[in-house]
Amino acid sequence: MGYFPNWTLKTSGAVMPDERMPVGQTVVAGFQHVVAMFGATALAPILMGFDPNVAIFFSGVATLLFFIVTRGQLPSYLGSSFAFIGV
């Protein structure tokens, strides 16, 4: 199996791990994911006094490395965290 598995299209009901949503639903879910990850990726570095550009760059690097290590079998985004703000 390569880096990009062949998922089957699922148009209704629950989507299983070996299936994918239609393009429209995928775009909406992707936009929701971007909104959800913005807080940790951009706001957390600002609150801690770091440069958000560095956090975004290394989030991308870490995500690509994770994608290569897992051979594309586990879609995930790796970003910064609010856990360090309390320290």
pLDDT at 10 over 70: yes
Please report, in angstroms and rounded to a whole number, the separation of the first and last CA atoms in the chain. Answer: 43
58-67 pLDDT per residue, tens? 888 988 999 8
State pTM to two decimals.
Answer: 0.60
DSSP states along 24-74? HHHHHHHHHHHHHHHIIIIIHHHHHT--HHHHHHHHHHHHHHHHHHTTTSS
15-67 pLDDT per residue, tens? 887 788 899 998 998 899 888 888 778 888 888 888 889 888 988 898 899 98
